[in-house]
Structure 1
Amino acid sequence: MRLALFDFDGTLSTRDSLMPFLRHTCGTLRFLGGLVWMAPVLGAYAAGWMPNDRAKARVLGHFLGGRTLAQVQQAGAVFARTALPGLLRASTVARLREHQARGDCCVLVSASLDVYLEPWAAAQGFDAVLCSCLVTTAEGRVTGALAGANCFGPEKARRITDWLAGRHPDHITAYGDSRGDDEMLAMADTPVRL
């Protein structure tokens, strides 16, 4: 088996997808008001004073907390179908198609959310998706917390290693664009940094 690992934000897409998803889900006015409210958190993250997983949970809790998982999944499916195509990087999507045409196993590995990446990846023919997932209450309401660690940096490598259990690829190619992809790229025979 030949394996191709793809990051999403900045690699398969031209930019971050989380903020556009939150805007899509909440509406522009609520999203903009939320950005003002979350400015201290976003500023602390940008300055390096707050780790990305903690900042992300606070932002997700603010924008999605209290909604049912079904509502967020429905918004994610619509976002995947209508908005994600406009964010894609054509050159990396072409690389994905080349791997698929050769019969390589293609896995999406991203810190972005399953609620929109899973439907998008299924439509694109990925073999697996390793990404961040939302925690819900017993009543099925989103809390903002992530199930397990944010799929970023060392967590990407851990999830890939877990997924590989019993699989022995002959060759691994990995595509990434940021420091959050370093550990994944280090696992590859052919690392491609965009």
Structure 2
Amino acid sequence: MKKLYCFDFDGTLTYSDTMFLYLKFYNPSKFRIQFIKHIPLFILLKLNLLEAEKVKKSFIYSILKGEKKEKIEKKSQLFFDQYYPEIFRGNALDFIKNIDYSQTDCYIVTASLDIWVKPFVEKFKMNLLATQAEFKDDIFTGNFVGNNCNGVEKVNRIKAEITDKKYDKIIAFGDTFGDQPMLAWADEGQFKFFH
């Protein structure tokens, strides 16, 4: 029986969102300054007066724009070394350890940026569908390639990836409103399964 597992990352497999954790790890002093500057945007976001994608893009841009790809990749590996496995839910790690990869294809489908999620995905031997960081001449532009991988975009990315594959069962795991389209699309949607 061939299965497909689609896992959201932040909050589903981890205890919390990794964006703030990573950006703080990357440059603590710049993070503090930009966090304070972004407080008005965070408030508007909480009041549903701004789109999450715009705030996210602005915050990431303010800290990582102009950074070299090589430096970002090194920092992402150091981030992994420091935070794996402690930021992960124990039962999520147990579940992953018991996956039979000969019968199961696994994807982490996340709105987080590919740059810092990649080392974790490689550790799990899974595939990654994420919001993609845009680089020009190996310098991060601060922009994303394509759409933020959230909501309906998660389903679009999965469908584009598995066009020529057949599965007996598709199971999706998520924990927020942004995962609902993926959970509804799958044969089986597991909400807060590891909580």
TM-score with structure 1 setting the length: 0.92
Matched with 1:150 is 148
SS of structure 2 residue aligned to 1:133: strand
Q: Does 1:93 align with 2:93?
A: yes
SS of structure 1 residue aligned to 2:12: helix
CA contact (8 A) 1:72 1:115 kept: yes
CA contact (8 A) 1:132 1:146 kept: yes
Which digits, 9 at most, give the CA deviation of each residue in 1:25-77, with x for residues without a partner? Answer: 012x3212211011122222222111111111101110111111221121111
Q: Does 1:163 align with 2:161?
A: yes
**How far, CA to CA, are the matches of 1:38 and 1:50 in structure 2?**
12
Structure 1 segment 21-170 matched on structure 2, within 5 A: 21-27=22-28, 29-100=29-100, 103-126=103-126, 128-137=127-136, 139-170=137-168
Tell me, which stretches of 5 or more residues in structure 2 are unaligned?
Answer: none
Identity among equivalent pairs (%): 25
Matched with 1:17 is 18
Which digits, 9 at most, give the CA deviation of each residue in 1:147-183, with x for residues without a partner? Answer: 1111110110100010111011110111100001001
Question: Which structure 1 residue ranges, 4+ long, deviate > 3 Å from structure 2?
Answer: 100-103
Number of residue-to-residue matches in the alignment: 191
CA contact (8 A) 1:77 1:115 kept: no
What amino acid does structure 2 have at the position aligned with 1:70? E
Please, which moves more after superposition, 72-81 or 161-170?
A: 72-81
CA contact (8 A) 2:96 2:124 kept: no
SS of structure 2 residue aligned to 1:3: strand
Matched with 1:179 is 177
**How far, CA to CA, are the matches of 2:19 and 2:148 in structure 1?**
13
Tell me, which stretches of 5 or more residues in structure 1 are unaligned?
Answer: none
CA contact (8 A) 1:4 1:99 kept: no
Query: CA separation of 1:150/1:125 partners in 2, compared to 1, >3 Å: closer, same or farther?
Result: same
TM-score with structure 2 setting the length: 0.92
